[in-house]
């Protein structure tokens, strides 16, 4: 469910903010309302399209495009240089997507930070609609939208199990499943300053961890429109389910520990969900013949949530079901 804000979303998607002028920063330059943040590593064939889609946005109050080149070793630097002063480029040794985004958060000058992956494409009007949405909901930490998936050769994806686009206080939804598409998010910089950035300890689930930490304290707002075309290709960010389940169990367990003192009901839910992912991990490990690791995963599930004892036993006895 989109919650009580859903009635307003259609209006704010097309609303432009009148009279919003850029302000002056401490260095005498123009402070943009939005920093578009794109981390990139060895993606010359896609990053040009991503940047061009950002440059095509009409952003009330102005935007800067900040690209963090995470140690590219191919022609990516030349592609970035071809944009001249239309973009700002920071180069660093390769440290992974979380570290690259965190570097961008530190360098961002905008009131908002928009996350754009180097292989995705924003549709026209994306940023203007989201700025209007966050201006209309000053208590919301971030705005997010739906996406269109397409294959590298141009075919559209037939994605049938689409996650909901949610608004409001959505922590319990996120404890069950990550429903926020990172490449659609527009964040308040002040929230990042208060919460911190991505935790590199949870690849490739560091985005889920950040959304949990944010929604423990703030509401969010969602727009059901698809504003991003996200590319499915061989070099995309995907992971072995074993890695995903391991990291999901770890980050949900950490969430449970944070929540137990002040929000024990949510903390118990987080721990049950952590146990569920640890059981899924155990099943995968057992199917792969990694019996000892599977046994450890099942034991971890029971340690985190003793109520998962029967489910863990069933998974150990019948790992293929």
Q: Which of 201, 232, 263 is the last residue of a domain?
A: 232
Residue 32 and residue 71 in one domain: yes
Provide the residue range defining the domain that includes 245: 241-317
**What would the two tokens of residue 177 be?**
């499943």
Residue 1 lies in a domain: no
Q: Which of 198, 232, 266 is the last residue of a domain?
A: 232
- The model's pTM is 0.88
Which CATH number belongs to the domain containing residue 137 in this structure?
3.90.550.10
Residue 43 and residue 66 in one domain: yes
CA distances from residue 9 to 15, 60, 134, 148, 190 in whole angstroms, order as listed: 10, 18, 11, 19, 23
The gap between the terminal CA atoms of the chain, to the nearest Å, is 31
Residue 188 lies in a domain: yes
Half-sphere exposure of 36 (CA within 13 A, CB side): 30
Residue 274 and residue 222 in one domain: no
Token pair 């598409």 is found at 181
Q: What is the pLDDT of residue 161?
A: 55
Q: Which of 193, 209, 232 is the last residue of a domain?
A: 232
pLDDT lower than 50: segments of the chain: 1-28, 160, 235-237
* Overall number of domains in the chain: 2
Residue 132 lies in a domain: yes
Residue 170 lies in a domain: yes
Q: What is the pLDDT of residue 155?
A: 53
């Amino acid at each position: 469910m989109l919650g009580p804000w859903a009635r307003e979303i259609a209006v704010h998607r097309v609303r432009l903010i009148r009279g919003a002028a850029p302000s002056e920063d401490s260095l005498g330059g123009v402070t943009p309302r939005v920093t578009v943040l794109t981390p990139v590593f060895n993606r010359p064939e896609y990053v040009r399209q991503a940047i061009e889609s950002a440059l095509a946005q009409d952003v009330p109050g102005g935007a800067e495009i900040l690209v963090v080149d995470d140690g590219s070793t191919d022609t990516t630097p030349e592609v970035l240089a071809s944009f001249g002063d239309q973009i700002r480029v920071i180069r660093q040794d390769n440290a992974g997507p979380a570290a690259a985004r965190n570097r961008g958060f530190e360098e961002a000058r905008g009131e908002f930070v928009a996350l754009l992956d180097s292989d995705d494409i924003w549709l026209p009007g994306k940023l203007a609609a989201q700025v209007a949405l966050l201006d209309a909901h000053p208590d919301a930490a971030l705005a997010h939208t739906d996406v269109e998936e397409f294959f590298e050769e141009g075919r559209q994806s037939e994605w049938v199990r689409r996650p909901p686009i949610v608004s409001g206080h959505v922590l319990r939804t996120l404890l069950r499943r990550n429903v926020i598409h990172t490449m659609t998010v527009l964040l308040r910089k002040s929230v990042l300053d208060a919460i911190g950035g991505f935790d590199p300890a949870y690849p490739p689930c560091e985005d889920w961890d950040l959304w949990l930490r944010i929604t423990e304290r703030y509401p969010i707002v969602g727009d059901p429109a698809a504003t991003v075309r996200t590319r499915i290709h061989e070099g995309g960010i995907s992971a072995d389910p074993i890695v995903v389940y391991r990291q999901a169990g770890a980050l949900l367990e950490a969430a449970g520990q944070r929540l137990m003192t002040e929000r024990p009901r949510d903390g118990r839910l987080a721990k049950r969900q952590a146990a569920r992912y640890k059981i899924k991990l155990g099943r995968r490990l057992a199917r792969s013949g990694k019996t000892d690791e599977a046994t450890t995963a099942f034991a971890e599930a029971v340690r985190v949530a003793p109520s998962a004892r029967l489910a863990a036993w069933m998974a150990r006895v019948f790992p293929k079901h």
